[in-house]
Each structure stands twice: as structure tokens, then as C-alpha cells.
Amino acid sequence: MTLPLPFSLAGRTALITGASSGLGAHFARLYAQAGAKVVLAARRTDRIAALAQDIGPAAHAVAMDVTSEDSITSAFAAGEAALGPIAIVVANAGTSAPGRATHVSEAGLRMVTDTNFTGAYLTAREGARRMMAAGVKETGQGRIILIGSITALLTGEGDSAYAATKAAIAHLGRNLAREWVRQGINVNTIQPGYIQTEIAGDFFETDLGKAKIAAFHRRRMQPIESLDAMMLYFASEASACVTGAVINVDDGQSL
């Protein structure tokens, strides 16, 4: 894969949460191909260990539960000890508790908010603290990317907690960008459309899922590779003057 020079991540270290599957695992491979060293953070340590072995010496797996600040702090410390100061953070870890709002349990609701919102907040905060301590104010190379969702823009039935947390992520990104705008850290949010990953399960194989695909304007699922260019852009020097952005990359699904 030949990358334009502005998208090169050579000499930089990225930490990616939720790296055990789906988008997180894909982003880890993408960033490694672009020249970055990648810290793979997730609870399922067997999966990230296998992914790190597959990627090679540029990858290191660390256990992280984004609902625990102590776990996040320990994971960042272990990642930096192995691969050096982290200049790119991708807050990707997420979960869902599908069902009508009248049926979702309190435990399910707390799981979604703790993972999707609080986890992203704590991950971004720990990354920013370490970037500041490493002198990123002088280099201007700090990058934090929050993974939102176009459900932040939509209404529907069956996943209101997930959609609400993703709406919160978009606003969180703008607020953190404003707070750290003079600290050499850019914070941007990408809102993907529906992509077939583990979190979706077999929903899109069902009649209801197939009907949803048929209702998309382009009548197809969005390919995971469609996020690559924007993920590289926001992580690289090319986006030096972009912070606080919320970008939909959804194959027109939200139109």
C-alpha cells in the first residue's frame, strides 16, 4: 500500500481502544501500514495478543477496561514503556444494549454509557495528560480521534442509549478540542455509518436487517475501508489546522 507523504505516521505511536475486533483491529493494521507503532488496547487480551503477533514488532498489546481509570492509566504506561510516547489516541471502544427503551435494563444502560461515553472521556483525558507532559505543545503533533456514529443524527427504535452516547461524543470532541486548542492537541470526531462488525452481530442477515440495507440510498453496507483516508488524515500532519471537527463518513446513509 503506497501512501501519500502527508498521511505518513512514521516515527509516531498510536494507542487504539477496542482493538480486539472490528474497527479497532482494522485501524491498528491501517496505522501500522502507515508507519506507526501501535498499542492495541482491549479487555480480550488473547485477541489483541494474536493481532500484535500478526502485525509484528511495531505492535504491542495491553489490557484495558475503558470503564476503569486505573486500567486506562496502567495501559497507557505499559504502552509507552514498550513503544515510546503516545502521540495519537483513537477512542474506539464501544458497546450496545439493543432493545426498546422500555425494556433495556439499568445494568445495560450503565454498561453503554460507561463504555461509550465515560470510557472515551477517560481515554482522551489520559492521552492528553501524557501528550502535554511529553511537550506536545511545542510540536503540535497531538492527535485524539473519537469514534462516534451517525446514530447521533438519527432517531429510531431499538438502541436509544447507544445513539445518545454517540451524540454526546460529538459534543465532547468539540469541547475537548476547545479546551486543548493551545496545548498542541487536535481532537476530531468521525461518525461512521452502518458497517458490518462484531457489535452488529447477525442483525444484517435477518429480514429486518436486509430491509434496512435496502432502505439505504445506495442499498449496500458501508465498507470498513471507507474510513481509512479520514482516519489517516486526522492522525497525520495533514490535519495540523483541523480540530473540533465532526465528520460523517457514512456512504450517504444519514441523508
| Strand, helix or coil for residue 247 | strand
| Strand, helix or coil for residue 249 | strand
| Strand, helix or coil for residue 104 | coil
Backbone angles phi, psi at 229, to 5 degrees: -60, -45
Task: Give me the catalytic one of 121, 162, 194, 233.
Answer: 162
N residues, the chain: 255
Closest CA to 64 of 76, 56, 55, 46: 76
Contact 122, 169 (CB under 8 A): no
User: Is 121 an annotated catalytic residue?
Assistant: no
Q: In the numeric block, which cell numbers belong to residue 34?
A: 502507515
Give residues with Cβ within 8 angstroms of 229, minimum separation 6: 7
> Residue holding cell 501524557?
130
Query: Which amino acids are annotated catalytic?
Result: 162
